[in-house]
Structure 1
Amino acid sequence: MTDSDTGSFPDDLRQLQERLHRVQAEYRSHLASLPWSVEPVKGWGRGERYSHRGDVPDSPGWSEEEKETAARLQQELRELAGAVAGHPHWATVPAEKRVAARMDLKKRTRPAPAADEPGTEAA
């Protein structure tokens, strides 16, 4: 897909998509740092309660601050996704090319992986 196929993307749309990528990464990182259960739950051992991965430790649950952060990030994701999807630029792209153009925008604005992320090589 080239610029001539999709047209160039307006700066504000590119900035919205870049911000959406950043908030998605922040949200994933936040969730990865939290206990496995939102509410406190007693763990269980292998063979109990359908565990396929072995023992499951107790979960202390999420703190109110952790819940608020997750809710704030979810709300920001919804707002950004709506702003990107509802941007007036998409009305200028022929219907049959919108999906490809949307994927092109996502690809162009996705941040480069950090050197310490899986799938990247150290220089």
Structure 2
Amino acid sequence: MTSSNATSFPDDLLKLQEELHRAHAEHRAYLAKLPWSVEPMKGWARGERYSHREDVPDSPGWTSEEKETVDRMWAEIRELSIAVVDHPHWATVPREEVVAARMELKKQGRPTGGPVSLEAA
């Protein structure tokens, strides 16, 4: 950013961006624990249909609770994304600097690490 720096982001915008990163991380972690197919589907042996490196087991599909949880997580991600994009701060950034400012916000808003809580899941 040329006319401003990372410390010029309002605290509430930084908090929203951190929440958005958290929501994405929780969503990815939750999806990683689910069966590979949303609907029940038969697996296949390596080389039988696709070029996977190992056999793909049958998928029992997702339960209705798992589908609801994924939908709820996506809704939270959408709401946070809209809140970040529509934040009044962006009206103060020169139009030609908005993309660079947004990229800088993404870097500033990254969680510092540590375990991801799956309490919302």
Q: Name the % identity.
A: 67
Q: TM-score, normalized by length of structure 1?
A: 0.84
Cα gap change, 1:86 to 1:28, in 2 (>3 Å): same
- Structure 1 runs (4+) deviating above 6 angstroms are none
Deviations 1:55-112 (A, max 9, x none): 1101111111111110000011011101101111111101111111111111111012
Cα RMSD between the aligned structures? 2.0
Structure 1 unmatched runs, 5+: 116-123
> 1:68 aligns to what?
68
How many residues were matched structurally? Answer: 115
Structure 2 unmatched runs, 5+: 116-121
2: CA distance between counterparts of 1:25 and 1:3?
Answer: 31
Ranked by relative contact order (alpha carbons within 8 Å, sequence separation 6 or more), the top structure is 2
**Where do residues 85-104 of structure 1 align in structure 2 (5 Å cutoff)?**
85-104=85-104
Q: Deviation of residue 47 (structure 1)?
A: 2.0
User: What is the one-letter code of the residue matched to 2:92?
Assistant: T
